[in-house]
Copies of this chain bind each other. A is one copy, B any other.
């Protein structure tokens, strides 16, 4: 094409149509569809869909499935997106857990690894651990890490999600400014994107969860943070620092000097994040429940409460009351349509959430729709995968 000529004409049109047909195919159940389904989904004519399918077939992005013989008349051609064409990885990096999930291009999980960093892991050692876990998970999925099309990473702290730099991560000492993205990009040779973990959990709720257009998502796990969706769009604030519920101080008495924010965990995290729940339970429960909690897993506490243990129920009620106090401040400010609680503690079940709802009642001016996330502890990684899949789009369209 001569310099300065605009990129138009039949070639470009075919590419656009192919991309539209591909998008419709990937949105379909099992990523398979008949031509007539694609005509309906794209609004293109049947000949245009057929031409697009032939472009996609030549690029080996799709394949035709064997036709079923049970049908009367001309058998309908069924095509399938070849999701195995490439892989992406989603990574959740925190102080207490590194999770890597590798999926195909349809987001179907191929391998998962969860590792626990040593408690004294520094920034560079954590980067090393991410690298090793990525390599191992890729191997589990039967690929070389260099074959990954893109990697998405979620991590605590305030992330400049354009530059990929972690600007501030008070809950992870030594993590701010670590060149995580640059190092992984050099190693893998593919796009590596990073965002705040809670923001990614919100992305996941919108992709595969129960997000509404005006949503408050609260991450409740080893840390506490929140993500805000307003009019269907993520709201990040003026400095990408919105939603820092974990740093709200409801504990230091008024007229007493509060500790400096940003030294380690936030005040609300110290009050009611997973570690605080465990300490509260260990100090109030007795054997055998106490022994079952010693490993650090909170599930036995919530099970005992659900089974009617008075002590466990009392601990759960204390936790629910504390959590409701912080959540209420944020609901009074934002008045969201719906509140979804994600993170590890969201797996606690109805005993905890019914108690949170009861305590919230007396703190709010307007009732709120509160629910536990259906994504359990996988929210951050799912959001990271969604971000990686979006980045993989460019490579896909270059094939056409």
Mark A residues whose CB is within 8 Å of B: 158, 168, 170, 214, 226, 228, 230, 235-245, 247-251, 253-255, 257-262, 271, 318, 321-322, 325, 328-330, 332-337, 362-366
Contact = CB atoms under 8 A, between A and B. Distances in A.
A158 B365 contact: yes
A271 B335 CA distance: 22
B335 A240 contact: yes
Given A237-B214, A237-B334, A335-B239, A244 B325 contact: no
A202 to B, nearest CB: 14
A359 to B, nearest CB: 9
A336 B329 CA distance: 17
Nearest to A233: B231
Which of A253, A271, A335 has the most CB atoms of chain B within a 10 A radius of its CB? A335
19 contacts: A170-B365, A214-B237, A226-B333, A236-B335, A237-B336, A238-B335, A241-B335, A242-B334, A242-B335, A243-B333, A244-B332, A244-B335, A247-B332, A247-B365, A248-B328, A248-B332, A249-B328, A262-B365, A329-B329
Dominant secondary structure at the A interface = loop
A258 B361 CA distance: 11
Which of A241, A255, A271 has the most CB atoms of chain B within a 10 A radius of its CB? A241
B333 A242 contact: yes
Nearest to A170: B365
B241 A365 contact: yes
Contacts of A257: 321
